[in-house]
Chain A
Amino acid sequence: MVTANELLGGVLAKRPVGATGVMSWITTIDHKRIGILYGVTGFIFFILGGIEALLMRLQLSSADAGIVSPEVYNQLFTMHGTTMIFLVVMPLGAAFFNFMIPLMIGARDVAFPRLNAFSYWMFLFGAILLNVSFLTGGAPNVGWFAYSPLTSDTYSIGQGVDFWILGLLVLGVSSMAAAFNFIVTIVNMRAPGMTMMKIPVFVWMTLIISFLLILAFPVITVAITLLLLDRLFGTVFFDTAAGANPLLWQHFFWAFGHPEVYILILPAMGIVSEILPVFSRKPLFGYTVVVFSGVLIGVMGWGVWSHHMFTVGLGPVANSAFALITMFIAVPTGIKIFNWIATMWGGSIRFTTPMLFSIGFIGMFVIGGLSGVMHAVAPSDTQQSDTYFVVAHLHYVLFGGSIFGLFAGIYHWWPKITGRLLNEFLGKVQFWLFFIGFNVTFFPMHFLGLDGMPRRIYTYSEGQGWEFWNVVSTVGVFIIGLSLFVFIQNVVRTLRHGEKAGNDPWDGRTLEWSIPSPPPEYNFAQIPTVTDRDAHWAAKYSEGPDGRPVPKVQGAAQEEVDTRNIHMPTPSYYPVLLAAGLTLIAGGLVSHLVVSVIGGILALFSIYSWALEPATDPDAHRDHGAY
């Protein structure tokens, strides 16, 4: 059969080969390399979003400041929110899904390796498309929630909103593809013996998040597509002059937006649920309860969206219903917190950096959770909504929660990913700076909100009494910046000179610690057979009569496996080309339609070539190099 490749000849005629070099990264379909790409990209955008935040904090550090113009300020908070959510927390979570899930379930790759690469490139190109708007005369300036009708072409002239829509459409494809991939991977590719109630909690949380993604993203996709049609082709879905009700957009947005909050926090909860047992040397307390409270949060997360809309006039019945469900989502959340503490109770706690970040996560998340319950009290929330109190709350959840959890994961799995440990002293310095800087930045925002300072204002006048806590908050940002500087130092130093990790530096409990660091391309020379929940722990220890672990006498060395017989999927050009084609289609709508046509042709070519090439090239003779 003649494939598209053979027809074309030339550059694309051969499958990409070679295990090193830029091309090997662009064409890689190895879940571990893709995980690293997600992680590095996410971290770069973390710095970018942080700079946006810093500029806003400088502007707010005094009354009537003129550091940035109102137009730029509005672009900054829109892009800060959009960046931190879609380009930082989600991809950093995805970095761990990619790298760790196959290792934790004893698989050699994800179910659809090329689709996995495609997800990454869609994410990267979508992120670039979104940020290109800074260079083409104005980034989106309507807030990450983009309330209608401010987004209509009457009130938002210019292309900022179009860039925002198209960027999110591209990012949505990325998230959907990744979510399907992980569902299939987790359901189908577990090692023999690993039943659903034996998979690590992080894998469970990934599964829940994946379902939330495939249910939530269609909602926002519909909403932004309608908005795009309004803006580009003159439809009137959100045109108030034609009688549209602006609440339609708000319901759309928050029906996506609130599940999205759980998409952002559940990875951190999963990570912490892995780390606490390792450094307490005890299994997770109440595994089943933790898993099902995660499921319950995922389900209840669909019934609380209107708590973002307590002040839109839905009436007392609707407000009461949403207040009630919102309050009771605190129950499964509280259960998790109690189980984490109970995991540490009676343990033998080692204060490593990942453990410090995990304990910090619990503390900060308790504060964010409690202020969340305060917001559920609808009547008093009408004083707090759209003030800095909300800004404080959401940062305690998404920064004190998600980002702390992600940093815990970085320190915990870094040795597995790179083969070298991060420096513990620098790690602890970073933690304490991060912890202090975070609280100095965000705790005063509670006060500002209660003192009547609204969100999304680029300036305030003297006499409001808001200067002091704004200055304190701005100082905190510099402490966070210093902390990140220490982190980067740590990374740069230890990548070359760090202590070698070995297979299992932390005395870990799950399967990823049973293989070399960094893992070989095929992960497991032999697919393990799982009998226990903490599979690797059970291989190392048996439970003594007093319930304490007793090291097992190591049996004869495992039989050498001839890894040359392991067939891994072959790298491919088409995921990145398809992603480029689809992004060009979107880019054409904000530049020239010719670009869309070129993108369409490229996408069509890539789809067919992808479909016609075998997943594993029978002619490929490759050594299994490390990345």
Chain B
Amino acid sequence: MSRRLFSRRWLLIVGLLSIVLLLISCTPSHPQSTFDSAGPVSKSQLNLFWVIFWASLAVFIVVIGILLYSVVRFRERPGQGMPVQVHGNRNLEIAWTVAPALLLTAIAVMTIRTIFDLNTPDSDNPLEIEVIAHQWWFEAVYPEFNITTANEINVPVGRDVSFKLDSDDVVHSFWVPKLSGKMDIIPNKTNTLWFRADEPGVFFGQCAEFCGIAHALMKFRVIAKPQEEFDQWVAGQQAVAATPTGQAAEGALVFNSKGCIVCHTITGPDTVAVRESRKQAFLDGNALTHAPNLTHFASRTSFAGSIMESTEENLKEWLRDPEEVKPGNRMARLAGAFNDPTMALTESDISALVAYLRSLE
């Protein structure tokens, strides 16, 4: 086997191996894989990734190939004597300055085109959604429909959605890998991001900027629905909640008497004034904060920063010991129900509350 053959085969193995590894490891079926684009924004970002990936792989193979070749070819051999003392070569220096510069120029052109392409939505009439990030959950407001919801953002398939991103406390980041790259959510600075879901589905997102103790548990979902289903969802969110009956009515009383109502709204969308006053109360050191709107809680599939599926058992577990489920969360830290022994929730309180919450269609 000649040395040349050996090195060519070696390159082939490295190349194939890295591709195979990449394919098996970044399985598109995983919930937050960046390889499973469901819309034009993430698709265009992924296309750019592949361009730079292949370019990098080519450069890697060439450079490492030359490195290994020279290491093997020029190893010390007995009786060989001292090598010629070469100090440099101007033409080579020019060549390996210009060649990478040309390659980088090509990549730079594509990069800058894409930066400007993705800067604004394709359509003139996107659906506007305001996202307000909190430690450690996402609030979504639909000004067009006067809806407030939390942790689950419903969008219509095929329509551009434009987000206004604001933070109520620290820096967070809005990221749904299958729909778009991330955009940080920064207090006192309104950022924007847009995407479009080209197919229906549940797309998982997660805060991507470290934001304190429960950063790992600050998730959300984007649920893309065909237009009719989306319209139904909007109508449901706009409806006035039904009057609770039976055990749920009991739960409604608990909700008021144990102070849940101080932070959670259950009577329709939150106003800016309510949000601001709760935020100010928190900053002033009072035991309250702005918390997820629960008006149509039962229409959501998950809760607590979208880390738990909304089942009866999970809700009970959460209400028994929220600190255990989501360490550091503000409800466990501030709410009277979890800090004041006289306000503590009994097991029957919890059952009633869960019945109530699950009635809030």
Contact = CB atoms under 8 A, between A and B. Distances in A.
B118 interface: yes
Interface stretch (A87-95, A146-154, A417-425): A146-154
Interface stretch (A167-175, A214-222, A275-283, A520-528): A275-283
Interface residues of A, number: 104
Given A285-B88, A363-B64, A548-B84, A451 B32 contact: yes
B56 A244 contact: no
A452 interface: yes
A606 to B, nearest CB: 40
B181 A381 contact: yes
Interface in B180-216: 180-184, 186-189, 191-192, 204, 206-216
Contacts of B191: 312-313
A447 B21 contact: yes
A464 interface: yes
A384 B48 CA distance: 12
Contacts of A244: 188
Nearest to B48: A380
Given A327-B107, A450-B26, A547-B84, A320 B177 contact: no
B45 A383 contact: yes
B31 A465 contact: yes
Contact of A245 (B53, B63, B111, B189): B189
A346 B86 contact: yes
Contacts of B25: 444, 447, 450-451, 468-469
Contact of A450 (B33, B80, B184): B33
Contacts of A61: none
Interface in A464-487: 464-466, 468-469
Interface in A438-462: 444, 447, 450-461
A367 B60 contact: yes
Interface residues of B, number: 95
B312 interface: no
Given A316-B115, A349-B74, A349-B76, A287 B186 contact: no
B44 A452 contact: no
B274 interface: no
A287 to B, nearest CB: 7
Given A74-B213, A330-B104, A359-B67, A380 B52 contact: yes
Interface in A533-556: 541, 543, 546-549
A319 interface: yes
Contacts of A373: 52, 56, 104, 107
Contact of A334 (B96, B192, B211): B96
A350 interface: yes
Given A348-B80, A359-B71, A463-B31, A328 B187 contact: no
B27 interface: yes
A280 B97 contact: no
Interface string B15-40: 00000011001110111111100000
B174 to A, nearest CB: 9
B112 interface: yes
B97 A335 contact: yes
Interface in B38-83: 42, 44-46, 48-49, 52-53, 56, 59-60, 63-64, 66-67, 70-71, 74-77, 80-83
Contacts of B33: 450-452, 465
B99 to A, nearest CB: 9
Interface string B218-246: 00000000000000000000000000000
B26 A456 contact: no
B85 interface: yes
B262 interface: no
A374 B49 CA distance: 8
A346 B84 contact: yes
B86 A460 contact: no
A241 B283 contact: yes
Given A281-B83, A311-B182, A379 B32 contact: no
A330 B327 contact: no
A154 B282 CA distance: 10
Contacts of B82: 281, 348, 541, 548-549
Contacts of B107: 327, 373, 377
Nearest to B280: A241
Nearest to A355: B71
Contact of B87 (A283, A349, A376): A283
B49 A70 contact: no
B130 interface: no
Interface stretch (A27-35, A225-233, A336-344, A400-408): A336-344
Interface in B156-197: 169-171, 173, 175, 177, 180-184, 186-189, 191-192
B56 A280 contact: no
Nearest to B186: A246
B101 A331 contact: yes
B173 A311 contact: yes
A143 interface: yes
Contacts of A316: 115-116, 119
In this complex, which of A150, A315, A328 has the most chain B Cβ atoms within 10 angstroms of its Cβ? A150
Contact of B74 (A149, A154, A344, A468): A344
Interface string A267-305: 000000000000011110111110000000000000000
Chain B interface mostly: mixed
A149 B209 CA distance: 12
Given A327-B108, A379-B181, A374 B56 contact: yes
Contacts of B209: 147, 386
Interface in B100-143: 100-101, 104, 107-108, 110-112, 114-116, 118-119, 135
A461 B314 CA distance: 15
A601 interface: no
B93 interface: yes
A245 B191 CA distance: 13
A458 B216 contact: yes
A386 B52 CA distance: 19
Contacts of B77: 348
A356 to B, nearest CB: 10
Given A288-B88, A452-B177, A382 B183 contact: yes
Given A155-B212, A240-B188, A366-B60, A280 B93 contact: no
B268 interface: no
B139 to A, nearest CB: 17
Contacts of B210: 74, 142-143, 147, 150, 386, 455-456
Interface string B288-301: 00000000000000
Nearest to A156: B212
Nearest to A534: B85
Contacts of B83: 280-282, 346-348, 548
Given A312-B186, A386-B208, A452 B104 contact: no
8 contacts: A70-B216, A147-B170, A280-B83, A373-B107, A377-B49, A380-B49, A541-B82, A548-B84
Interface of B: 21-22, 25-27, 29-35, 42, 44-46, 48-49, 52-53, 56, 59-60, 63-64, 66-67, 70-71, 74-77, 80-89, 92-93, 96-97, 100-101, 104, 107-108, 110-112, 114-116, 118-119, 135, 169-171, 173, 175, 177, 180-184, 186-189, 191-192, 204, 206-217, 283, 307, 327-328
Q: Which 9 pairs between the two chains have the least Cβ-Cβ distance?
A: A452-B32, A382-B181, A447-B25, A457-B216, A465-B30, A313-B191, A380-B49, A286-B88, A547-B84
Interface of A: 69-71, 74, 141-143, 147-150, 154-155, 240-241, 243-247, 280-283, 285-289, 311-313, 315-316, 319-320, 323-324, 327-328, 330-331, 334-335, 337-339, 341-342, 344-351, 359, 362-363, 366-367, 370-371, 373-374, 376-387, 444, 447, 450-461, 463-466, 468-469, 541, 543, 546-549
Given A283-B86, A346-B84, A548-B82, 11 more contacts: A147-B171, A150-B210, A246-B188, A316-B116, A320-B115, A338-B92, A349-B76, A373-B107, A450-B26, A454-B208, A547-B86
